[in-house]
Structure 1
Amino acid sequence: MTNPFVMLAGYNAWANRRLYAAAGALDDADYRADRGAFFGSLHGTLSHLLVTDRIWMRRFTGDGPLHLTLDEQPYSALAALAEARFAEDARILAFAEGLDATRLAGLFTYRTVTNPRDITQPLAPALFHLFNHQTHHRGQAHAVLTAIGGRDAAPSLDLLAYQRETGIGMS
């Protein structure tokens, strides 16, 4: 596998579609209820993931919406949040598909959101963080779904399930 970020971007989109489908099966009160997750509700957690992905993609590309806080909720309706999420997933995949070894090894500088300061690092480790961060908070969202509706309410989000379903990363 030459560029693992293409697989991770595809997995990210696949997992998000499954997660949003499960969220869409909830009633609005359950979807918005504070469940003690780091960002409170399922809506807060999904919003955080979109906002942080947009922050990172703006850092990587210089383009995209500007978000100034990590707890911003730019969309009140799940349908609008899902539409924005799926568009961002497509943007992440297109970005990953355009990367080469030189770009991945190259340095870039960005400004942090909390405790603002400039950081310079190679692109590849920052991309690994992007995908790891998504997995971390999707796990929280999965726990919220499980708490609301039991194991059947939360879909499998395993990378291996994605690989087996798509064949990506299996040879």
Structure 2
Amino acid sequence: MISPSYCQTMARYNARMNDQLYNACATIPDQQRRTDMKLFFKSIHGTLDHLMYGDIAWLSRFMGKEDEVPEFGGILYPDFSELADTRKVWDQKIIDWADRLKQSWLESDFSYISKIDGTARTKPAWLLAAHMFNHSTHHRGQLTTALSQLGIDFGVTDLPFVL
């Protein structure tokens, strides 16, 4: 079981890592950010966009706004500047959500409908919150590998040394 303080820590770590990652990605020409690097979502831009989708989807559900979850597939933000600006907005929304989070919510079950396969699911809320943060860390790891292959230093990413 996780706690509100865990979510608050991860929300701040998430925002810090996203800021660091976007700063590194901003040094890459747009065409290179869109080049297929054999990542799961092909390009750096595609992976950044997928991360944005995941956070919008989960946080919208958690805030009771399931109707605001975008359809899955395709690029939500084709323009890097718009994607970067949206990222900052949603990182703050995640921090605000975590700061208001109650242990009782984490201990409850949470139901949602997947936009990927249309299936209704019920899972422990704490598990889904942990997944939201883990999902971001997972894909940021793919991006840091791609950046490393391009010779770009993205900085320290280890949680104990970042916050």
Q: 1:68 aligns with which of 66, 71, 90?
A: 71
Letter in 2 for 1:53: D
Does the 8 A contact of 1:51 with 1:72 survive in 2? no
1:157 counterpart = 2:157: yes
Cα-Cα RMSD: 1.5
**What is the correspondence of 1:34-53 to structure 2 with a 5 Å cutoff?**
34-53=36-55
The letter of the residue matching 1:131 is F
In 2: Cα distance, 1:90 partner to 1:31 partner? 24
Query: How many Å apart are 1:73 and its aligned residue?
Result: 1.4
8 Å CA contact retained: 1:33, 1:41? yes
> Deviations along 1:112-137, whole A, 9 cap, x unmatched?
12222111122111100000000000
> Sequence identity of aligned pairs in percent?
32
* Consecutive unaligned residues in structure 1, runs of 5 or more: 164-171
With over 3 angstroms needed to count, the CA separation of the structure-2 counterparts of 1:139 and 1:90, relative to structure 1, is: same
Alignment of 1:10-89 (within 5 A): 10-63=12-65, 65-69=68-72, 71-89=73-91
Distance in 1 (CA, whole Å) between partners of 2:4 and 2:139 is: 27
TM-score normalised by structure 2 residue count: 0.92
Structure 2: tracts of 5 or more residues without a match: none
Alpha-carbon distance between aligned partners in 2 of 1:140 and 1:119, rounded to the nearest angstrom:
28
Mapped contact 2:34–2:44 kept (Cα < 8 A): yes
Q: Distance in 2 between matches of 1:91 and 1:63?
A: 13
Structure 2: which amino acid aligns with 1:61? Answer: M
Q: Distance in 2 between matches of 1:60 and 1:94?
A: 12
* Alpha-carbon distance in 2 for matches of 1:21, 1:157: 14
Q: TM-score, normalised to structure 1's length?
A: 0.88
CA distance in 2, matches of 1:77, 1:158: 29
Q: 1:7 offset after TM fit, Å?
A: 0.3
Give the letter for the 2:5 counterpart. N
> Alignment length, in residue pairs?
160
Is contact 1:33-1:42 (8 Å) kept? yes
1:71-150 map, 5 Å: 71-148=73-150, 150=151
Q: Distance in 2 between matches of 1:101 and 1:22?
A: 36
Higher relative contact order (CA 8 A, sep 6+): 2
